[in-house]
């Protein structure tokens, strides 16, 4: 069989709800790698919060972080030049100013694998800091001196839709925004035009594997473009309805080894 790219989102897709890779999912992906297929992580997480999973799977492939704002090869930057597409600093500061007017719970500004916080009481940021302290915290208008990779906003749940609408009206041409599901209702801001599909296309070109031989798995709205782009887009059983409606296939949930379940049947794997 000709080589395929198997692109996997992390949270709610490859990972169980307690943020682990199940033995069955790990075995299925390892078997496909043995058969010559390429397994690729495509996540909204920064690299520091996805590196452990990359290593656990023994990958040697490029990956997509920050929903396409950072595309890189952790083990071979010479063969695959990193692509970093940050937000313009002035736009970022305007977005932050808008969020401040809504008295959001916290704002996290990512610059590659460093980050800044509005408030040191990190809350939602704990899941993505992995014990790493912020470069600084406080007045982000003053602290931000570089173009940021992404901005994570933790609004009051009652204000989330209103804030999203305001950001869209004010900045639709220059930013893209995504929402995260439970337990944190977080808005993520990246440069306009970026998505996991953008990263996947770069990796597809690198491997010279055509679009029709890409299988992608996802569950949330930041997976929409990737699922639509892939030759076979697979929505998890726990995916949002919008994603299921555009997917080619729907598998079982992340708690039921949905990735392994699909791949076992698709490639006739003996696990």
The three-state DSSP-derived secondary structure of the chain is CCCCEEEECHHHHHECCCCCECHHHHHHHHHHHHCCCEEEEECCCCHHHCHHHHHHCCCCCCEEEHHHCEEECCCCCCCCCCEECCCCHHHHHHHHHHHHHCCCCEEEEEECCEEEECCCCCHHHHHHHCCCCCCEECCHHHHCCCCCCEEEEECCHHHHHHHHHHHHHHHCCCEEEEECCCCCCCEEEEECCCCHHHHHHHHHHHHCCCHHHEEEEECCHHHHHHHHHCCEEEECCCCCHHHHHHCCEECCCHHHCHHHHHHHHHCCCCC
User: Which has the higher per-residue pLDDT, 104 or 127?
Assistant: 104
Residue 24 and residue 257 in contact, taking contact as beta carbons nearer than 8 Å: yes
Over 80: is that where the pLDDT of 252 sits? Answer: yes
Q: What is the mean pLDDT of residues 190-203?
A: 95
Residue found under tokens 């798995």: 217
Q: Which residue ranges form the domains of the chain, and what is each CATH number?
A: 5-84+194-266 (3.40.50.1000), 89-191 (3.30.1240.10)
What would the two tokens of residue 256 be? 């039921």
Cis peptide before 7 (omega within 30 of 0): no
Instruction: Please give the positions annotated as active site.
Output: 9
User: Which has the higher per-residue pLDDT, 102 or 238?
Assistant: 238
The lowest-confidence range among 24-38, 117-131, 243-257 is 117-131
User: Which has the higher per-residue pLDDT, 120 or 213?
Assistant: 213
Tell me how long the chain is.
271
Residue 176 — pLDDT band, cuts 50, 70, 90? confident
* d(C-alpha 247, C-alpha 238), whole Å: 13
C-alpha 236, offset from chain centre: 15
Over 80: is that where the pLDDT of 157 sits? Answer: no
Nearest to 29, CA basis, from 63, 56, 48, 2: 56
Over 70: is that where the pLDDT of 184 sits? Answer: no
Q: What is the pLDDT of residue 268?
A: 93
Q: What is the pLDDT of residue 158?
A: 78
Nearest to 69, CA basis, from 51, 87, 91, 49: 87
* d(C-alpha 74, C-alpha 7), whole Å: 16
The lowest-confidence range among 63-67, 161-165, 214-218 is 161-165
Residue 66 and residue 110 in contact, taking contact as beta carbons nearer than 8 Å: yes
Residue 221 and residue 215 in contact, taking contact as beta carbons nearer than 8 Å: no
Over 70: is that where the pLDDT of 180 sits? Answer: no
Residue 167 — pLDDT band, cuts 50, 70, 90? confident
């Amino acid at each position: 069989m000709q080589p395929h790219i198997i692109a996997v989102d992390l949270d709610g897709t490859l990972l169980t709800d307690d943020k682990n890779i199940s033995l069955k999912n790990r075995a299925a992906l390892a078997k496909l790698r043995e058969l010559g297929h390429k397994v690729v992580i495509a996540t909204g997480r920064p690299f520091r919060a996805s590196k452990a999973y990359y290593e656990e799977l023994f990958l040697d492939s490029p990956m997509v972080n920050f929903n396409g704002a950072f595309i890189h090869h952790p083990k071979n930057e010479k063969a695959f030049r990193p692509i970093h597409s940050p937000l313009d600093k002035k736009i970022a500061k305007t977005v932050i100013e808008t969020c401040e007017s809504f008295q959001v719970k916290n704002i996290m500004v990512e610059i590659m694998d460093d980050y800044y916080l509005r408030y040191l009481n990190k809350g939602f940021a704990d899941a993505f800091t992995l014990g790493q302290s912020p470069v600084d915290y406080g007045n982000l208008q003053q602290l931000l001196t570089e173009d940021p990779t992404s901005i994570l906003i933790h609004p009051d749940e009652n204000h989330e839709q209103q804030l999203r609408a305001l950001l869209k009206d004010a900045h639709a041409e220059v930013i893209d925004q995504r929402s995260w599901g439970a337990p944190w209702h977080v808005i993520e801001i990246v440069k306009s035009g970026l998505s996991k599909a953008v990263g996947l296309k770069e990796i597809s070109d690198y491997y010279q594997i055509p679009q029709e031989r890409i299988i992608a798995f996802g569950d949330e709205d930041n997976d929409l473009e990737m699922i639509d782009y892939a030759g076979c887009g697979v929505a998890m059983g726990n995916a949002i309805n919008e994603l299921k409606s555009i997917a080619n296939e729907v598998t079982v949930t992340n708690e039921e080894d949905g990735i392994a379940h699909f791949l076992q049947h698709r490639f006739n794997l003996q696990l």
